[in-house]
Structure formats: C-alpha cells, structure tokens
C-alpha cells in the first residue's frame, strides 16, 4: 500500500464525516501514522489530538518500539474512533459501527503480520465489532478481506499504563510479556 492510497482513504473518510456532521470544513481526524508496509499495527481506542498519542505517549511509544527492536517503517499506529470531536466522550456503539469499516480497510491495505490492541475493549471492537471487554493477554484474530489467512490480534492493557497519568508497574510488566509474544510472532 502506498502512502497515497492511505491518504485517499483518509480523504474519503473526511468527506463522509463532513456529510454526516453537516459541516462545510474538513473535520479534525486522526487517521494514523507510520510505515506503509508495517509488520505490526498498534490500535488505540480514541485519538489524543491530531495524532494517536499525546507528546508523553509518543515518547513512551518510541521507547516501546525501540525495546521491541522495530524501526519506524515496521510499525503503524492508529485508532478505532478517528474523529476528534468524538474523542472527548466514551465511544458509542454507533461510532464503532461507523468507523470499524474504515479501520478494516486501513488494516487490509497495511496488511500487517500482527495487530496489537491496546485495551480489552479495543480488542473486542477489533475482533467482534462490539464494545465489550475481553482479557488482556489474549490472542485472537481478524479476517481481513483480500488477506489469505487471519491476522493475529494480540490484546494487551490500555496504553495509559505506561504514562504518568495511568502508570501501573504490574500491568506495564505484563504488557512487556505481551509485546515479547508479538516479537516472537513476527520473528523470521
């Protein structure tokens, strides 16, 4: 997938949101960032501004990526809910139904070897399309149209366990065990 293809997908999403919301200017959207042929796609529930993560989150993500020995082009980070106006509240099932097909198209075009879901609700949204909890540490899969076999989805804790705001040492250590499983899954 080329970066132009991702840009086209994002532009189509912006047009849809503009028409749904009835706003003439392009809506603020956080579609994702990273390599166009990543080994791993990391998925958060909601964006933190125009990027998937705020400044502290970006720093922690870089540390995590480096610890996993992944280059910038090896990863892509995105969100289930892509419209910033909706990021200030908990996702509603209608938000997931609206944005999930866009996430699926994005994942299909990126065609990663592994998907990491930050948070059990994100894992459930990815694997079932519903907002429900499934346990951190579980490995599920998602069928992406045009991809030969199911793509593994590694479900871990919410990303906030690594930041000052939600720091939890026990969950951070457990998350690292989950990331080691991801590293093993993508190793040749």
Residue-wise pLDDT tens digits, 48-90: 766 778 888 899 999 999 999 999 999 999 988 887 665 556 6
Single pTM value for the model: 0.84
Strand partners, 117: 43, 155
Q: How confident is the model at residue 131 (pLDDT cuts 50, 70, 90)?
A: very low
CATH fold of 30-186 reads Uracil-DNA Glycosylase, subunit E (3.40.470)
What residues have CB less than 8 Å from 100, skipping those under 6 apart?
80, 125, 129
Kindly list the domain boundaries of the chain, sorted by start residue.
30-186
């Amino acid at each position: 997938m080329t970066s132009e293809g991702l840009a086209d997908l994002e532009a189509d999403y912006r047009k849809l949101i503009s028409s749904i919301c009835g706003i003439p200017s392009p809506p603020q959207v956080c579609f994702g960032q990273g390599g166009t042929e990543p080994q791993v796609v990391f998925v958060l529930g909601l964006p933190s501004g125009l990027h998937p993560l705020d400044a502290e989150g970006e720093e922690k993500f870089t540390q995590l990526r480096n610890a996993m020995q992944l280059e910038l082009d090896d990863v892509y980070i995105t969100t289930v809910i892509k419209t910033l106006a909706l990021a200030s509240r908990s996702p509603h099932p209608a938000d997931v139904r609206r944005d999930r097909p866009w996430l699926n198209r994005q994942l299909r075009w990126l065609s990663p070897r592994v998907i990491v879901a930050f948070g059990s609700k994100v894992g459930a949204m990815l694997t079932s399309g519903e907002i429900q909890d499934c346990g951190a540490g579980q490995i599920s899969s998602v069928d992406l149209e045009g991809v030969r076999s199911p793509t593994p989805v590694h479900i871990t804790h919410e990303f906030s366990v690594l930041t000052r705001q939600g720091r939890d040492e026990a969950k951070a250590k457990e998350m690292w065990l989950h990331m080691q499983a991801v590293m093993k899954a993508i190793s040749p």
